Amino acid sequence: MTDVLRHRPGYTLRRAANAMMAELARRLATIDLRIAEASVLLLIEHRTDATASEIGRVLDIQRANMVPLLGRLEEAGLIERRPIDGKSQAVLLTALGHQRRAEADAITTAFEDDLMARIAPEHRDHLVPALGALWRAD
């Protein structure tokens, strides 16, 4: 059967995203991390004041999903929470979290290098801005 949808941008984008995220998930699994977990570690690397709600907002993760996500990272010894004020807690990397973040960064960088190598050189500079225009559109 011919894939009559292959020329539709939305369909092609979904297929590409699914394939790439499956590949990244496979690579991160080698260090026992999920994509969302690695994203949190990368996001809070240099922060001492990042709250769960801020992390969720930046990564577009619902509060109901942030609780178990941060729970898994805390249980694994990768993050800890410290009071910022009377009602807020900062999410911080532990020493082990810094080590795992570095591993996740190396894996993600290699993955992104491999991804970009699949794109024709003349299109590489335009890929990220074009994708950003799609998800940042109001």
- Please indicate, yes or no, if residue 97 is contained in any of the structural domains: yes
Question: What CATH number is given to the structural domain containing 99?
Answer: 1.10.10.10
- How much is the pLDDT for 1? 75
- Please indicate, yes or no, if residue 83 is contained in any of the structural domains: yes
Whole-prediction pTM = 0.89
State CA 57 to chain mean position distance: 13
User: Per the structure, how many domains does the chain have?
Assistant: 1
- How much is the pLDDT for 3? 81
The ranges of the chain with pLDDT < 50 are none
State CA 126 to chain mean position distance: 21
- How much is the pLDDT for 137? 60
**Residues paired with residue 80 on neighbouring β-strands, in sequence order:** 92
- Please indicate, yes or no, if residue 132 is contained in any of the structural domains: no
Burial class (CB in 10 A: 0-12, 13-18, 19+), 97: buried
- Please indicate, yes or no, if residue 16 is contained in any of the structural domains: yes
* Domain with 64 in it: 9-115
Q: Tokens 């050189």: give the residue.
A: 121
- How much is the pLDDT for 122? 96
Closest Cα to residue 28, out of 103, 80, 125, 115?
103
- Please indicate, yes or no, if residue 95 is contained in any of the structural domains: yes
- Please indicate, yes or no, if residue 130 is contained in any of the structural domains: no
Q: Tokens 């929470």: give the residue.
A: 81
- Please indicate, yes or no, if residue 89 is contained in any of the structural domains: yes
Cα separation, 7 vs 81, whole angstroms: 47
- Please indicate, yes or no, if residue 46 is contained in any of the structural domains: yes
